Protein backbone atom coordinates (compact mmCIF):
# COMPACT_ATOMS: atom_id res chain seq x y z
CA UNK A 1 0.00 0.00 0.00
CA UNK A 2 1.39 3.39 -1.01
CA UNK A 3 1.04 6.51 1.15
CA UNK A 4 -2.02 8.57 0.19
CA UNK A 5 -1.49 12.29 0.78
CA UNK A 6 -5.13 12.93 -0.02
CA UNK A 7 -6.75 15.68 -2.01
CA UNK A 8 -7.37 19.14 -0.60
CA UNK A 9 -8.73 20.92 -3.69
CA UNK A 10 -11.54 19.57 -5.87
CA UNK A 11 -12.01 21.21 -9.24
CA UNK A 12 -13.41 18.66 -11.70
CA UNK A 13 -16.82 17.75 -10.30
CA UNK A 14 -17.72 16.15 -13.62
CA UNK A 15 -15.44 13.27 -12.67
CA UNK A 16 -17.45 10.24 -11.54
CA UNK A 17 -14.98 9.91 -8.66
CA UNK A 18 -16.60 12.86 -6.80
CA UNK A 19 -20.27 12.09 -7.59
CA UNK A 20 -20.77 9.85 -4.55
CA UNK A 21 -19.89 12.69 -2.17
CA UNK A 22 -22.05 15.47 -3.60
CA UNK A 23 -25.13 14.67 -1.50
CA UNK A 24 -26.00 16.78 1.55
CA UNK A 25 -24.67 14.06 3.89
CA UNK A 26 -21.11 14.76 2.68
CA UNK A 27 -21.17 18.52 2.26
CA UNK A 28 -19.43 20.80 4.72
CA UNK A 29 -18.25 24.37 5.02
CA UNK A 30 -14.74 25.41 6.01
CA UNK A 31 -14.85 28.79 7.79
CA UNK A 32 -12.06 31.31 7.18
CA UNK A 33 -11.37 35.01 7.48
CA UNK A 34 -8.35 35.04 5.13
CA UNK A 35 -6.56 32.57 2.88
CA UNK A 36 -3.26 32.54 1.05
CA UNK A 37 -1.74 31.61 -2.26
CA UNK A 38 2.02 31.22 -2.59
CA UNK A 39 3.68 33.75 -4.89
CA UNK A 40 7.11 32.59 -6.06
CA UNK A 41 8.05 36.02 -7.43
CA UNK A 42 7.52 37.61 -4.02
CA UNK A 43 8.96 34.65 -2.14
CA UNK A 44 6.00 34.21 0.14
CA UNK A 45 2.29 34.01 0.61
CA UNK A 46 -0.26 36.55 -0.55
CA UNK A 47 -3.22 36.70 1.85
CA UNK A 48 -6.74 37.44 0.61
CA UNK A 49 -9.88 38.41 2.53
CA UNK A 50 -13.25 39.95 1.70
CA UNK A 51 -11.97 43.24 3.14
CA UNK A 52 -9.48 44.64 5.67
CA UNK A 53 -11.79 43.74 8.60
CA UNK A 54 -11.57 40.09 7.47
CA UNK A 55 -15.19 39.06 8.01
CA UNK A 56 -15.99 35.37 8.26
CA UNK A 57 -16.77 33.50 5.04
CA UNK A 58 -16.73 29.81 4.14
CA UNK A 59 -15.21 27.53 1.54
CA UNK A 60 -17.69 25.03 0.08
CA UNK A 61 -16.36 21.58 0.91
CA UNK A 62 -17.09 17.89 1.04
CA UNK A 63 -16.03 15.41 3.72
CA UNK A 64 -15.97 11.67 4.22
CA UNK A 65 -14.67 9.01 6.55
CA UNK A 66 -11.74 7.46 4.65
CA UNK A 67 -9.45 4.48 5.28
CA UNK A 68 -5.98 4.69 3.76
CA UNK A 69 -2.32 4.85 4.63
CA UNK A 70 -1.49 8.53 4.97
CA UNK A 71 1.90 7.94 6.66
CA UNK A 72 3.91 4.74 6.31
CA UNK A 73 4.93 4.61 9.97
CA UNK A 74 1.27 4.88 11.10
CA UNK A 75 0.02 2.22 8.70
CA UNK A 76 -3.60 2.12 7.62
CA UNK A 77 -5.87 4.54 9.50
CA UNK A 78 -9.45 5.72 9.23
CA UNK A 79 -9.93 9.49 9.36
CA UNK A 80 -12.55 12.15 8.77
CA UNK A 81 -11.21 14.07 5.77
CA UNK A 82 -12.42 17.13 3.92
CA UNK A 83 -11.50 19.03 0.80
CA UNK A 84 -12.84 22.23 -0.63
CA UNK A 85 -14.12 22.99 -4.09
CA UNK A 86 -12.17 25.20 -6.45
CA UNK A 87 -13.20 27.08 -9.56
CA UNK A 88 -11.74 29.53 -12.07
CA UNK A 89 -9.81 32.37 -10.44
CA UNK A 90 -11.21 35.89 -10.30
CA UNK A 91 -9.00 38.91 -11.10
CA UNK A 92 -7.43 39.27 -7.64
CA UNK A 93 -6.54 35.61 -7.08
CA UNK A 94 -5.77 35.08 -10.77
CA UNK A 95 -2.98 37.67 -10.62
CA UNK A 96 -1.21 35.39 -8.08
CA UNK A 97 -2.59 31.93 -8.89
CA UNK A 98 -4.18 31.90 -12.36
CA UNK A 99 -5.27 28.26 -12.27
CA UNK A 100 -8.00 28.30 -9.61
CA UNK A 101 -9.45 29.75 -6.43
CA UNK A 102 -11.63 28.28 -3.66
CA UNK A 103 -15.41 28.32 -4.01
CA UNK A 104 -16.32 30.98 -1.43
CA UNK A 105 -19.70 31.35 0.26
CA UNK A 106 -20.25 34.87 1.61
CA UNK A 107 -23.84 34.84 2.88
CA UNK A 108 -25.94 32.72 5.21
CA UNK A 109 -28.24 31.95 2.27
CA UNK A 110 -25.32 30.59 0.23
CA UNK A 111 -24.21 28.40 3.16
CA UNK A 112 -27.78 27.14 3.59
CA UNK A 113 -28.04 26.34 -0.13
CA UNK A 114 -24.71 24.50 -0.09
CA UNK A 115 -25.68 22.45 2.95
CA UNK A 116 -29.28 21.58 2.04
CA UNK A 117 -30.08 21.97 -1.67
CA UNK A 118 -30.10 19.32 -4.36
CA UNK A 119 -26.70 18.73 -5.97
CA UNK A 120 -27.74 20.58 -9.14
CA UNK A 121 -28.82 23.65 -7.14
CA UNK A 122 -25.85 23.54 -4.74
CA UNK A 123 -23.33 23.26 -7.57
CA UNK A 124 -24.53 26.57 -9.02
CA UNK A 125 -22.40 28.07 -6.22
CA UNK A 126 -19.26 26.68 -7.89
CA UNK A 127 -18.18 30.00 -9.36
CA UNK A 128 -15.47 32.56 -8.71
CA UNK A 129 -16.32 35.60 -6.62
CA UNK A 130 -16.85 38.66 -8.79
CA UNK A 131 -13.73 40.66 -9.65
CA UNK A 132 -13.17 43.22 -6.90
CA UNK A 133 -14.74 41.04 -4.17
CA UNK A 134 -11.40 40.17 -2.50
CA UNK A 135 -8.60 42.33 -1.12
CA UNK A 136 -4.95 41.51 -0.53
CA UNK A 137 -4.53 41.94 3.23
CA UNK A 138 -0.93 40.73 3.75
CA UNK A 139 2.14 39.75 1.73
CA UNK A 140 5.16 37.55 2.20
CA UNK A 141 4.35 35.89 5.51
CA UNK A 142 4.02 32.15 6.03
CA UNK A 143 1.31 32.53 8.66
CA UNK A 144 -0.90 35.40 9.53
CA UNK A 145 -0.98 36.33 13.22
CA UNK A 146 -4.20 35.37 15.00
CA UNK A 147 -6.30 38.45 15.58
CA UNK A 148 -8.55 38.68 18.58
CA UNK A 149 -12.06 40.05 18.27
CA UNK A 150 -12.47 43.35 20.08
- Domain locations in the chain? 9-139
pLDDT score, position 142:
61
CB 83 within 8 Å of CB 7: yes
Whole-prediction pTM: 0.80
pLDDT score, position 141:
63
CB 32 within 8 Å of CB 50: no
Please give the Cα distance from 130 to 88 (Å, whole number): 11
Per-residue confidence of the chain (150 residues) as pLDDT tens digits?
Answer: 565 555 566 666 666 766 766 788 989 999 999 999 988 887 889 999 999 999 999 999 998 767 666 677 877 777 777 788 999 999 999 999 988 999 999 999 999 999 999 999 999 999 999 999 999 999 876 665 666 555
pLDDT score, position 44:
87
pLDDT score, position 103:
96
Q: Which CATH architecture has domain 9-139?
A: Alpha-Beta Complex (3.90)
Q: Which parts of 2-140 fold into alpha helices (H)?
A: 16-19, 91-94, 108-116, 119-122
Which stretch of DSSP H or E encloses residue 69?
Answer: strand 57-71
Amino acid sequence: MEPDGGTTNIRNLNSKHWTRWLGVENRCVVPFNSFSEFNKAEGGDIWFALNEARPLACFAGIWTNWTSMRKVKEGETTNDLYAFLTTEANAEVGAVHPKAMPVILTTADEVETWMTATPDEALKLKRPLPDGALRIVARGVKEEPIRSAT
